[in-house]
Amino acid sequence: MTPFGRCTIDADPLRAMVNSAELECRLRRINSRQNARVKELRRGFAEAAPNEQGEVAIEGMHLVEEAIRSGLRIGTVFFSESARERAHKLLPQLSSHTEALLLPDDVFGSAVPSESPQGIAALVRPKSFALADLFAPPPALLVVTAGLQDPGNLGTIARSGEAFGLTGLLLGDRSVSPWNWKVVRASAGSLFRVPTLKVELAKALSEIKSRGVRVLATSSHKGTLIADADLRGPVAFLVGNEGAGIPKDLLAQADEVVAIPQSARVESLNAGIAASIMLYEAARQRGTAISPRRHGDHGEE
């Protein structure tokens, strides 16, 4: 028998699964909105930035499971009373070092931003990266944002980026925080794995180019057609603000402007969609885009 908090748990290695009574032993009930970790969770969502321990706030069963799958350190996981059964599903996946708190529904709802909470949230420590980490494996495939402000766009870029071999995501001044809860949700967990770094754009672009990476700006109606652009070597796609586009001083640093052909009736593509198309084309040219399996094809030669 081994102690766990105020409970005693049978440590017999022959037991196939932990029963619900033992899982309940891991849950520590918190009733106050002023609890230090509850306040930390609320602050994490409000500030969209790591706390002093390097933790960020996430919400939802899928995202917490993605954090586990990504090997992130989870400091505290929070469950609402109405999500108690979900706690029994999730707890066996968590390290014994992870604190598990059970909150009344109103206390949980006061700490999370969504209007219809799933009853699960967590404080997790994302991986940190230096600029040098974003160039491997070669050839580098980067996205650099210049004032991108829509959370859905940034989340989409991270998700598409993971799908198409993005080696790094660089966020310039005035870009939305990658730990904004809407960004994390739109990325579906990809932000836990795609190397991401906030940078000073002018300095970062200079270093990128010094490493032999071509900087390509995107355009709706002018420039080299995407099918004619050579994306096989190391490239960085420069993505601008949804309304103002790419600032002229940064556009002047681009090696080439690449255009995605589209109907003249459409003024421009959504920034997340445009970046996704560019990333797909790069993966296609590099031969890294994976063809879908046909029905009945199980990969046999």
Which strands, in side-by-side order, build the sheet including 27-29?
Answer: 27-29, 99-103, 73-80, 120-125, 56-59
pLDDT digits (tens, 9 = 90+) for 86-145: 898 999 999 989 999 999 999 999 999 998 999 999 999 999 999 999 999 999 999 999
pLDDT band, residue 298 (cuts 50/70/90) = very low
pLDDT band, residue 290 (cuts 50/70/90) = low
Helix axes 271-286, 151-163, angle to 10 degrees: 10
Q: Going from the N-terminus, what domains does the chain have, and what CATH number goes with each? A: 18-125 (3.30.1330.30), 131-286 (3.40.1280.10)
Between 296 and 257, name the one with better pLDDT: 257
Mean pLDDT for 213-219 is 91
pLDDT band, residue 179 (cuts 50/70/90) = very high
For residue 20, the model assigns a pLDDT of: 66
pLDDT digits (tens, 9 = 90+) for 55-73: 999 999 999 999 999 999 9
pTM listed for this prediction:
0.88
Q: Is the pLDDT of residue 4 over 70?
A: no
Instruction: Name the percent of the chain lying above pLDDT 70.
Output: 88
For residue 265, the model assigns a pLDDT of: 81
For residue 293, the model assigns a pLDDT of: 55
CA distances from 279 to 113, 255, 262 (A): 31, 17, 17
* Cα–Cα distance, 166 to 142 (Å, whole number): 6
Beta bridge partners of 259: 219, 225
Q: Is the pLDDT of residue 286 over 80?
A: yes
pLDDT band, residue 288 (cuts 50/70/90) = confident
pLDDT band, residue 268 (cuts 50/70/90) = confident
CA distances from 133 to 74, 142, 169, 289 (A): 23, 11, 11, 22
For residue 7, the model assigns a pLDDT of: 59
Q: Is the pLDDT of residue 282 over 60?
A: yes
